[in-house]
Amino acid sequence: MLRPNMASPRKIIHLDLDAFYCAVEEQRDPALRGKPFAVGGRPDERGVVASCSYAARARGVRSAMPMSRALRLCPDLLIIGGHYSLYSTASQKVMAKLREITPLVEQLSIDEAFLDVTARAEPVEALARALQATINTDPGLPCSLGVASNKLVAKIASDYGKGLHNGDGPPNAITVIEPGTEAAFLAPLGVRALWGVGPKTEERLRATGILTIGELAAAPEADLTRLFGKHGADMARRARGIDDAPIITEREAKSLSQEITFSRDVRDEDLLRAQVREHSQRVAEMLQQRGLTAATIRLKLRWPDFTTLTRQTTLTQPTDDPALIAELGWQLMEKVWLPGKAVRLLGIGVAGLGEQPRQMGLWTREE
Protein backbone atom coordinates (compact mmCIF):
# COMPACT_ATOMS: atom_id res chain seq x y z
CA MET A 1 0.00 0.00 0.00
CA LEU A 2 1.25 3.48 -0.85
CA ARG A 3 2.24 5.79 1.96
CA PRO A 4 0.08 8.92 2.34
CA ASN A 5 1.21 12.12 0.67
CA MET A 6 1.18 14.39 3.70
CA ALA A 7 1.07 17.49 1.44
CA SER A 8 -2.47 16.52 0.43
CA PRO A 9 -5.53 16.65 2.70
CA ARG A 10 -6.13 13.49 4.66
CA LYS A 11 -9.07 11.28 3.78
CA ILE A 12 -10.86 10.23 6.97
CA ILE A 13 -14.05 8.19 7.23
CA HIS A 14 -16.11 7.92 10.41
CA LEU A 15 -18.40 4.88 10.45
CA ASP A 16 -21.27 4.54 12.91
CA LEU A 17 -23.48 1.44 12.88
CA ASP A 18 -27.10 2.62 13.02
CA ALA A 19 -28.95 1.45 16.17
CA PHE A 20 -26.45 -1.40 16.25
CA TYR A 21 -27.91 -3.58 19.00
CA CYS A 22 -31.35 -3.27 17.45
CA ALA A 23 -30.08 -4.05 13.95
CA VAL A 24 -28.51 -7.27 15.26
CA GLU A 25 -31.73 -8.12 17.10
CA GLU A 26 -33.67 -7.67 13.87
CA GLN A 27 -31.33 -10.14 12.19
CA ARG A 28 -31.95 -12.58 15.03
CA ASP A 29 -35.73 -12.05 14.89
CA PRO A 30 -36.96 -10.44 11.63
CA ALA A 31 -40.43 -10.02 13.18
CA LEU A 32 -39.01 -7.07 15.13
CA ARG A 33 -38.46 -4.99 11.98
CA GLY A 34 -40.55 -1.84 11.93
CA LYS A 35 -41.70 -2.31 15.53
CA PRO A 36 -40.92 -0.07 18.50
CA PHE A 37 -38.51 -2.01 20.72
CA ALA A 38 -35.58 -1.37 23.02
CA VAL A 39 -32.61 -3.36 24.23
CA GLY A 40 -31.96 -2.94 27.93
CA GLY A 41 -32.98 -3.78 31.47
CA ARG A 42 -36.46 -4.41 32.80
CA PRO A 43 -38.36 -1.41 34.20
CA ASP A 44 -39.05 -3.23 37.48
CA GLU A 45 -35.29 -3.57 37.90
CA ARG A 46 -34.65 0.13 37.22
CA GLY A 47 -33.21 -0.80 33.82
CA VAL A 48 -32.09 1.72 31.22
CA VAL A 49 -32.39 1.76 27.43
CA ALA A 50 -29.10 0.61 25.88
CA SER A 51 -30.42 1.00 22.32
CA CYS A 52 -33.80 1.49 20.69
CA SER A 53 -35.28 1.01 17.24
CA TYR A 54 -36.06 3.96 15.01
CA ALA A 55 -39.77 3.25 15.39
CA ALA A 56 -39.28 3.68 19.15
CA ARG A 57 -37.24 6.84 18.64
CA ALA A 58 -40.13 8.33 16.69
CA ARG A 59 -42.13 7.97 19.91
CA GLY A 60 -39.53 9.83 21.99
CA VAL A 61 -37.55 6.87 23.35
CA ARG A 62 -33.80 7.48 23.64
CA SER A 63 -30.67 5.62 24.76
CA ALA A 64 -29.74 5.98 28.48
CA MET A 65 -33.38 6.72 29.31
CA PRO A 66 -34.91 4.83 32.26
CA MET A 67 -36.92 1.96 30.79
CA SER A 68 -39.91 2.93 32.95
CA ARG A 69 -40.01 6.35 31.25
CA ALA A 70 -39.60 4.72 27.83
CA LEU A 71 -42.68 2.62 28.52
CA ARG A 72 -44.68 5.68 29.53
CA LEU A 73 -43.77 7.33 26.23
CA CYS A 74 -44.38 4.15 24.24
CA PRO A 75 -46.69 1.73 26.10
CA ASP A 76 -46.42 -0.93 23.35
CA LEU A 77 -42.61 -0.89 23.52
CA LEU A 78 -41.08 -4.36 23.28
CA ILE A 79 -38.16 -4.91 25.67
CA ILE A 80 -35.29 -7.18 24.62
CA GLY A 81 -32.84 -8.28 27.30
CA GLY A 82 -29.84 -8.16 24.96
CA HIS A 83 -27.63 -10.80 23.34
CA TYR A 84 -24.16 -9.38 23.85
CA SER A 85 -22.26 -12.30 22.35
CA LEU A 86 -24.14 -11.71 19.08
CA TYR A 87 -23.29 -8.00 19.18
CA SER A 88 -19.62 -8.77 19.78
CA THR A 89 -19.49 -11.23 16.87
CA ALA A 90 -21.21 -8.79 14.50
CA SER A 91 -18.84 -5.99 15.53
CA GLN A 92 -15.81 -8.16 14.90
CA LYS A 93 -17.08 -8.88 11.36
CA VAL A 94 -17.52 -5.17 10.67
CA MET A 95 -14.08 -4.23 11.99
CA ALA A 96 -12.51 -7.01 9.88
CA LYS A 97 -14.15 -5.48 6.78
CA LEU A 98 -12.70 -2.08 7.67
CA ARG A 99 -9.19 -3.51 8.02
CA GLU A 100 -9.47 -5.01 4.55
CA ILE A 101 -9.53 -1.41 3.28
CA THR A 102 -6.77 0.04 5.50
CA PRO A 103 -4.74 -0.97 8.55
CA LEU A 104 -5.32 2.55 9.92
CA VAL A 105 -8.54 1.79 11.82
CA GLU A 106 -9.35 3.32 15.19
CA GLN A 107 -12.20 1.48 16.86
CA LEU A 108 -13.97 3.87 19.23
CA SER A 109 -16.54 1.42 20.56
CA ILE A 110 -18.39 -1.73 19.60
CA ASP A 111 -20.27 0.17 16.86
CA GLU A 112 -18.05 3.07 15.81
CA ALA A 113 -14.67 3.55 14.12
CA PHE A 114 -12.44 5.95 12.19
CA LEU A 115 -10.54 4.94 9.05
CA ASP A 116 -7.65 6.82 7.44
CA VAL A 117 -7.79 6.02 3.71
CA THR A 118 -5.40 8.76 2.57
CA ALA A 119 -3.12 6.18 0.96
CA ARG A 120 -5.89 4.79 -1.23
CA ALA A 121 -5.98 6.09 -4.80
CA GLU A 122 -9.77 5.93 -5.18
CA PRO A 123 -11.93 9.02 -4.55
CA VAL A 124 -12.90 8.97 -0.88
CA GLU A 125 -16.64 9.30 -1.55
CA ALA A 126 -16.54 6.24 -3.83
CA LEU A 127 -14.69 4.34 -1.11
CA ALA A 128 -17.29 5.36 1.46
CA ARG A 129 -20.18 4.23 -0.72
CA ALA A 130 -18.49 0.92 -1.49
CA LEU A 131 -17.79 0.40 2.21
CA GLN A 132 -21.39 1.13 3.17
CA ALA A 133 -22.66 -1.28 0.50
CA THR A 134 -20.31 -3.96 1.85
CA ILE A 135 -21.47 -3.55 5.47
CA ASN A 136 -25.11 -3.43 4.32
CA THR A 137 -24.59 -6.76 2.55
CA ASP A 138 -22.22 -8.65 4.85
CA PRO A 139 -22.77 -8.67 7.81
CA GLY A 140 -26.00 -6.99 6.64
CA LEU A 141 -26.08 -3.99 8.97
CA PRO A 142 -27.06 -0.36 8.30
CA CYS A 143 -24.38 2.26 8.88
CA SER A 144 -23.88 5.99 8.50
CA LEU A 145 -20.59 7.51 7.36
CA GLY A 146 -19.01 10.92 7.61
CA VAL A 147 -16.17 11.81 5.22
CA ALA A 148 -13.79 14.71 5.78
CA SER A 149 -10.15 15.74 6.02
CA ASN A 150 -9.94 15.11 9.77
CA LYS A 151 -11.53 13.10 12.58
CA LEU A 152 -13.39 16.02 14.14
CA VAL A 153 -15.30 16.99 11.01
CA ALA A 154 -15.85 13.38 9.88
CA LYS A 155 -17.51 12.54 13.20
CA ILE A 156 -19.69 15.64 13.16
CA ALA A 157 -20.58 14.90 9.52
CA SER A 158 -21.84 11.41 10.32
CA ASP A 159 -23.85 12.76 13.28
CA TYR A 160 -25.27 15.47 11.01
CA GLY A 161 -26.33 12.94 8.37
CA LYS A 162 -28.01 10.77 10.98
CA GLY A 163 -29.73 13.82 12.45
CA LEU A 164 -31.44 14.66 9.16
CA HIS A 165 -33.24 11.31 9.25
CA ASN A 166 -36.81 11.18 10.56
CA GLY A 167 -38.17 7.85 9.32
CA ASP A 168 -38.90 4.54 11.02
CA GLY A 169 -35.91 2.84 9.38
CA PRO A 170 -32.16 3.43 9.81
CA PRO A 171 -30.65 6.55 8.20
CA ASN A 172 -27.85 4.69 6.37
CA ALA A 173 -26.52 8.17 5.55
CA ILE A 174 -23.31 9.35 3.89
CA THR A 175 -22.20 12.94 4.43
CA VAL A 176 -19.12 14.21 2.57
CA ILE A 177 -17.36 17.43 3.55
CA GLU A 178 -14.92 18.54 0.86
CA PRO A 179 -11.47 19.80 1.91
CA GLY A 180 -11.53 23.54 2.40
CA THR A 181 -15.24 23.64 3.31
CA GLU A 182 -14.89 22.44 6.91
CA ALA A 183 -15.49 25.82 8.56
CA ALA A 184 -18.45 26.60 6.29
CA PHE A 185 -20.04 23.24 7.11
CA LEU A 186 -19.61 23.75 10.85
CA ALA A 187 -20.62 27.43 10.97
CA PRO A 188 -24.44 27.10 11.20
CA LEU A 189 -24.36 24.22 13.68
CA GLY A 190 -25.02 24.79 17.38
CA VAL A 191 -21.93 24.89 19.58
CA ARG A 192 -22.94 21.63 21.30
CA ALA A 193 -22.06 19.77 18.08
CA LEU A 194 -18.39 20.57 18.72
CA TRP A 195 -16.13 18.21 20.68
CA GLY A 196 -15.44 19.54 24.16
CA VAL A 197 -18.59 21.67 24.43
CA GLY A 198 -20.89 20.25 27.08
CA PRO A 199 -24.00 21.80 28.65
CA LYS A 200 -22.03 23.98 31.07
CA THR A 201 -19.70 25.34 28.38
CA GLU A 202 -22.67 25.90 26.09
CA GLU A 203 -24.34 27.89 28.86
CA ARG A 204 -21.29 30.09 29.33
CA LEU A 205 -20.93 30.64 25.58
CA ARG A 206 -24.61 31.50 25.31
CA ALA A 207 -24.15 34.12 28.03
CA THR A 208 -21.59 35.83 25.79
CA GLY A 209 -23.92 35.69 22.77
CA ILE A 210 -22.21 32.74 21.06
CA LEU A 211 -24.78 30.21 19.86
CA THR A 212 -23.27 28.67 16.71
CA ILE A 213 -19.90 27.22 15.79
CA GLY A 214 -19.49 30.01 13.24
CA GLU A 215 -19.90 32.62 15.98
CA LEU A 216 -17.41 30.71 18.10
CA ALA A 217 -14.92 30.67 15.22
CA ALA A 218 -15.31 34.43 14.80
CA ALA A 219 -14.74 35.18 18.49
CA PRO A 220 -11.31 36.57 19.41
CA GLU A 221 -9.17 33.66 20.58
CA ALA A 222 -7.76 35.82 23.37
CA ASP A 223 -11.28 36.30 24.79
CA LEU A 224 -11.96 32.55 24.67
CA THR A 225 -8.64 31.82 26.36
CA ARG A 226 -9.43 34.34 29.08
CA LEU A 227 -12.83 32.74 29.69
CA PHE A 228 -11.89 29.07 29.33
CA GLY A 229 -8.11 28.83 29.55
CA LYS A 230 -6.40 26.37 27.18
CA HIS A 231 -9.80 24.82 26.49
CA GLY A 232 -10.82 28.14 24.91
CA ALA A 233 -7.91 28.06 22.46
CA ASP A 234 -8.71 24.44 21.59
CA MET A 235 -12.35 25.33 20.95
CA ALA A 236 -11.33 28.19 18.67
CA ARG A 237 -9.25 25.81 16.51
CA ARG A 238 -11.95 23.15 16.37
CA ALA A 239 -14.59 25.76 15.49
CA ARG A 240 -12.56 26.52 12.36
CA GLY A 241 -12.53 22.81 11.47
CA ILE A 242 -8.88 22.33 12.39
CA ASP A 243 -7.92 18.94 13.83
CA ASP A 244 -4.67 17.03 13.33
CA ALA A 245 -5.41 14.15 15.73
CA PRO A 246 -3.99 10.92 14.29
CA ILE A 247 -5.74 7.59 13.94
CA ILE A 248 -4.88 5.49 17.00
CA THR A 249 -4.83 1.82 16.07
CA GLU A 250 -5.45 -1.08 18.46
CA ARG A 251 -1.78 -1.73 18.96
CA GLU A 252 -1.25 1.86 20.05
CA ALA A 253 -4.21 2.02 22.42
CA LYS A 254 -3.25 2.02 26.10
CA SER A 255 -6.77 2.24 27.51
CA LEU A 256 -10.41 1.72 26.59
CA SER A 257 -13.43 3.51 28.01
CA GLN A 258 -17.11 4.32 27.66
CA GLU A 259 -18.75 7.44 29.03
CA ILE A 260 -21.99 9.38 28.80
CA THR A 261 -22.85 13.02 29.40
CA PHE A 262 -26.42 12.99 30.67
CA SER A 263 -28.86 15.37 29.02
CA ARG A 264 -30.04 16.19 32.56
CA ASP A 265 -28.07 15.73 35.77
CA VAL A 266 -28.70 12.32 37.32
CA ARG A 267 -29.13 11.79 41.06
CA ASP A 268 -30.89 8.42 41.08
CA GLU A 269 -28.67 5.64 42.44
CA ASP A 270 -30.39 2.85 40.52
CA LEU A 271 -29.97 4.69 37.23
CA LEU A 272 -26.30 5.38 37.97
CA ARG A 273 -25.74 1.72 38.91
CA ALA A 274 -27.40 0.62 35.67
CA GLN A 275 -25.19 2.98 33.67
CA VAL A 276 -22.06 1.59 35.35
CA ARG A 277 -23.19 -1.92 34.39
CA GLU A 278 -23.91 -0.86 30.80
CA HIS A 279 -20.53 0.87 30.40
CA SER A 280 -18.77 -2.12 31.96
CA GLN A 281 -20.48 -4.48 29.53
CA ARG A 282 -19.40 -2.42 26.54
CA VAL A 283 -15.82 -2.06 27.78
CA ALA A 284 -15.63 -5.82 28.39
CA GLU A 285 -16.86 -6.43 24.83
CA MET A 286 -14.12 -4.18 23.47
CA LEU A 287 -11.52 -6.12 25.44
CA GLN A 288 -12.88 -9.47 24.28
CA GLN A 289 -12.92 -8.37 20.65
CA ARG A 290 -9.23 -7.53 20.88
CA GLY A 291 -8.26 -10.61 22.86
CA LEU A 292 -7.09 -8.37 25.72
CA THR A 293 -7.48 -8.19 29.46
CA ALA A 294 -7.13 -5.15 31.73
CA ALA A 295 -5.29 -4.77 35.00
CA THR A 296 -6.74 -1.37 35.96
CA ILE A 297 -10.37 -0.27 36.30
CA ARG A 298 -11.12 3.45 36.13
CA LEU A 299 -14.09 5.65 37.06
CA LYS A 300 -14.62 9.13 35.63
CA LEU A 301 -17.18 11.54 37.06
CA ARG A 302 -18.12 15.12 36.26
CA TRP A 303 -20.27 17.22 38.57
CA PRO A 304 -22.68 19.93 37.32
CA ASP A 305 -20.07 22.63 38.01
CA PHE A 306 -17.82 20.85 35.47
CA THR A 307 -15.40 19.60 38.12
CA THR A 308 -14.06 16.30 36.80
CA LEU A 309 -12.41 13.56 38.81
CA THR A 310 -11.04 10.08 38.14
CA ARG A 311 -10.40 7.15 40.43
CA GLN A 312 -8.87 3.78 39.69
CA THR A 313 -8.08 0.42 41.23
CA THR A 314 -5.61 -2.23 40.07
CA LEU A 315 -6.22 -5.96 40.01
CA THR A 316 -3.75 -8.65 41.02
CA GLN A 317 -5.01 -10.66 38.00
CA PRO A 318 -6.16 -8.93 34.77
CA THR A 319 -9.75 -9.44 33.61
CA ASP A 320 -12.22 -8.98 30.79
CA ASP A 321 -15.23 -9.89 32.92
CA PRO A 322 -18.04 -7.29 32.75
CA ALA A 323 -19.47 -8.20 36.16
CA LEU A 324 -16.13 -7.70 37.89
CA ILE A 325 -15.48 -4.43 36.05
CA ALA A 326 -18.94 -3.19 37.09
CA GLU A 327 -18.46 -4.28 40.70
CA LEU A 328 -15.14 -2.48 41.02
CA GLY A 329 -16.46 0.53 39.13
CA TRP A 330 -19.28 0.91 41.62
CA GLN A 331 -16.90 0.45 44.55
CA LEU A 332 -14.91 3.41 43.21
CA MET A 333 -18.17 5.32 42.79
CA GLU A 334 -19.12 4.77 46.42
CA LYS A 335 -15.85 6.36 47.56
CA VAL A 336 -16.62 9.72 45.92
CA TRP A 337 -20.38 9.93 45.35
CA LEU A 338 -22.90 10.77 48.06
CA PRO A 339 -26.51 9.62 47.53
CA GLY A 340 -28.51 12.38 45.91
CA LYS A 341 -25.49 14.24 44.52
CA ALA A 342 -26.05 15.27 40.89
CA VAL A 343 -23.83 13.70 38.22
CA ARG A 344 -23.29 15.29 34.79
CA LEU A 345 -20.95 12.70 33.24
CA LEU A 346 -20.15 9.11 34.14
CA GLY A 347 -17.50 6.92 32.54
CA ILE A 348 -15.94 3.50 33.07
CA GLY A 349 -12.55 2.66 31.57
CA VAL A 350 -9.77 0.12 31.73
CA ALA A 351 -6.00 0.33 31.35
CA GLY A 352 -3.00 -1.89 31.78
CA LEU A 353 -3.99 -3.80 28.65
CA GLY A 354 -2.26 -6.97 27.57
CA GLU A 355 -2.71 -10.40 26.07
CA GLN A 356 -2.75 -11.97 29.48
CA PRO A 357 -4.44 -15.10 30.83
CA ARG A 358 -8.15 -14.48 31.34
CA GLN A 359 -8.27 -14.97 35.11
CA MET A 360 -9.99 -13.02 37.85
CA GLY A 361 -8.14 -11.92 40.93
CA LEU A 362 -9.77 -12.16 44.32
CA TRP A 363 -8.07 -9.07 45.70
CA THR A 364 -7.42 -5.59 44.44
CA ARG A 365 -5.24 -2.77 45.62
CA GLU A 366 -6.16 0.90 45.51
CA GLU A 367 -4.04 3.48 43.76
pLDDT (average), residues 200-225 = 94
pLDDT at residue number 364? 38
CATH code of the domain covering residue 352: 3.30.1490.100
Are residues 20 and 140 located together in one domain of the fold?
A: yes
Are residues 172 and 213 located together in one domain of the fold?
A: no
> Is the pLDDT reported for residue 95 higher than 50?
yes
Q: Considering 26, 106, 112, 285, which one is annotated as catalytic?
A: 112
Q: Which of 156, 180, 204 is the last residue of a domain?
A: 180
Are residues 47 and 174 located together in one domain of the fold?
A: yes
Hey, CA dihedral for 113, 129, 62, 199, is it positive or negative?
positive
Are residues 281 and 328 located together in one domain of the fold?
A: yes
Q: Rounded to an integer, what distance in angstroms lies between the CA atom of residue 256 and that of residue 112? A: 13
Are residues 166 and 197 located together in one domain of the fold?
A: no
pLDDT at residue number 366? 38
pLDDT (average), residues 20-27 = 96
Domain that holds residue 215: 191-239
Q: Rounded to an integer, what distance in angstroms lies between the CA atom of residue 83 and that of residue 51? A: 12
Q: Rounded to an integer, what distance in angstroms lies between the CA atom of residue 334 and that of residue 325? A: 14
pLDDT (average), residues 161-174 = 90
278 carries an active-site annotation: no
Q: Is residue 1 part of a domain?
A: no
Are residues 67 and 157 located together in one domain of the fold?
A: yes
